[in-house]
Structure 1
Amino acid sequence: MMVMTVPNSALRAVRTGMRMSQDDFARALQAAGHRVGEPNDANKRLVQRWESGTIAAPRPVYARALEVVTGLPISLLGFAAVSGDHVADDQHGGHDLTSPMSGLATPTPKASSATVRKSYEGVWLSRYQYYSSGREESFAGQHFVVALQHGDRLTVRSLPGSATSSLSLDLTVDGAVITGTWVEQTDPAGYYRGARYHGAIQLLAEPTGRRMAGKWVGFGKNMDVNTGPWELIFRDASTSKATLDRYNTSAT
């Protein structure tokens, strides 16, 4: 019996939305694998086979790299997620038709060599404050964000329906100290007319693991260096599609 393949339009849409070619995407997956201590052999041909539907689900090592690169759980990347030993062979195209599959399952990352005491994975409310020199007034930016954790790396991406701008943070966890970078693409129709801002951030996680608070630093409209408070408030430990759909609404 012939098995029909269904193209993975979700993965292709995410990749093209990141303005990456298939070659660029494969290189980013390799770099992500090295960062989390799980090297992989991603290449353009593998990305093509995912997007064409020839490979319905990636092996866990690729699933984790995909989450790091895109900042999205595997359940939102158009794959049929698999668990345990029943995984597709990404390099040889094998299929286990008896594998249990669930569109909402997110693979459990393997423990890395660096022990991380807490897991910060889930949905958070992100809030920061900034001063607008052009308007001589302080403002607050709010997003619902999804955080994915792989070892000591924390990837945070805003849910698109939670704000008119998009936000991403790439962080490293060292005990209660969380340090990294942020990027915000502002609303094309807003005051900053789609300008892209970026900078550094350092947060301290409270012992409960339900709040992180600290400071951001970044350049302003007049190329001066600004800073301000930033906090992440825990909302939900789940990263299932149903949960993300529930929080994909205005955070204000």
Structure 2
Amino acid sequence: MTTPNSTLRAVRMGLLMSQDEFARALHDAGNHAGSPNDANKRLVQRWESGTTSAPRPLYARALEAVTGLPIESLGFPSPVLARIADDGHGGHDLKDPPVAVRTPGTQPAAQPAPQGNYSGVWLSSYEYVSSGRGNEVFPGKHYVLLLQHGNRITGRSLPGASLNPDSPLTLDLQRDGSTVTGTWTERTATEGYYRGARYFGAVQMLAEPTGRRMAGKWVGFGKEFDVNTGPWELRLMEASTTKATLNKYNRPPE
């Protein structure tokens, strides 16, 4: 039984690309890097459906170039990633790994899907303290696309939809009743105060019965090896994932 890679699908849709457009971008990235590949729509479909569990190294490098994310943040299983790292010849697209290893933010496919679905465009809002700027509190806001498959919710900010330009956010969450727990990753703006640094951590929220709001806390590591925390809220804008809806929210939040 295959498990769809909803993380990769969320990232692709968050980039406002169809499967065909995504494949063309991968093909172009390979040519630009001097490592041509044969990416096509069918290959993207196999990755997203889980039929093919992981890309060959050639495609992994193109995926990283197009998405701006490390391959381990694109929903592929850890055991397969280890085999990719050891594969000096490229090989063929790899099928299901021999051992299922559960990593943070993932969960078994056998769990039943919860009632309701949180797929749609959400406004993500959090606050953080900048120790280097006199402990001033700053907001972080993104419009994010969430996709739910079973109990798992994956998210990616839309490319032009962050309060600070060029600051993509990804979420890998697990829902258990009204509790939503998981991990987050954000790459700060290249020209901003943190100069493109990548931050990551955990988040836990409680979902309101209406299904339109989640609120809780984030935790993460600071530059001085300290542990930071702060409030985080997700508020539903529209329960739609159409390209028209994504284009509508592909702008900085007010």
What is the TM-score with the length of structure 2 in the denominator? 0.61
* Aligned residue number for residue 113 of structure 2: 115
Aligned residues: 175
Aligned to 1:203, the other structure's residue is in SS state: strand
Pair 194,209 (structure 1): closer, same or farther in 2 beyond 3 Å: same
* Aligned residue number for residue 128 of structure 1: 126
Aligned to 2:133, the other structure's residue is in SS state: coil
* Aligned residue number for residue 98 of structure 2: none
| Percent of pairs with identical residues | 54
Q: Deviations over 1:98-140 (max 9, x none)?
A: xxxxxxxxxxxxx975131121000000000000000020000
- Higher Cα radius of gyration: 1
Runs of 4+ in 1 over 6 A off after TM superposition: none
* Aligned residue number for residue 155 of structure 1: 154
When the two chains are superposed, the root-mean-square deviation of aligned CA atoms in Å is 3.4
TM-fit CA distance, 1:44 = 5.3
Aligned to 1:207, the other structure's residue is in SS state: coil
- For structure 2, the residue ranges without an aligned partner over 5 or more in a row are 1-18, 63-73, 77-108
Task: Verify the 8 A CA contact 2:181 2:204 in the aligned structure 1.
Answer: yes
Query: Residues of 1 paired with 2:192 and 2:54: CA distance?
Result: 38
Task: Verify the 8 A CA contact 1:183 1:197 in the aligned structure 2.
Answer: yes
* Aligned residue number for residue 51 of structure 2: 40
One-letter amino acid of the counterpart of residue 51, structure 2 = N
- Listed as ranges, the matches of 1:93-108 within 5 Å are none
Aligned to 1:235, the other structure's residue is in SS state: strand
What is the TM-score with the length of structure 1 in the denominator? 0.61
Aligned equivalent of 2:23, options 11, 26, 49 = 11
* Aligned residue number for residue 219 of structure 1: 221
Aligned to 1:162, the other structure's residue is in SS state: strand
- Listed as ranges, the matches of 1:1-252 within 5 Å are 8-13=20-25, 40-42=51-53, 69=75, 113-136=111-134, 137-163=136-162, 164=165, 165-252=167-254
- For structure 1, the residue ranges without an aligned partner over 5 or more in a row are 1-6, 34-38, 52-67, 71-110
Pair 134,122 (structure 1): closer, same or farther in 2 beyond 3 Å: same
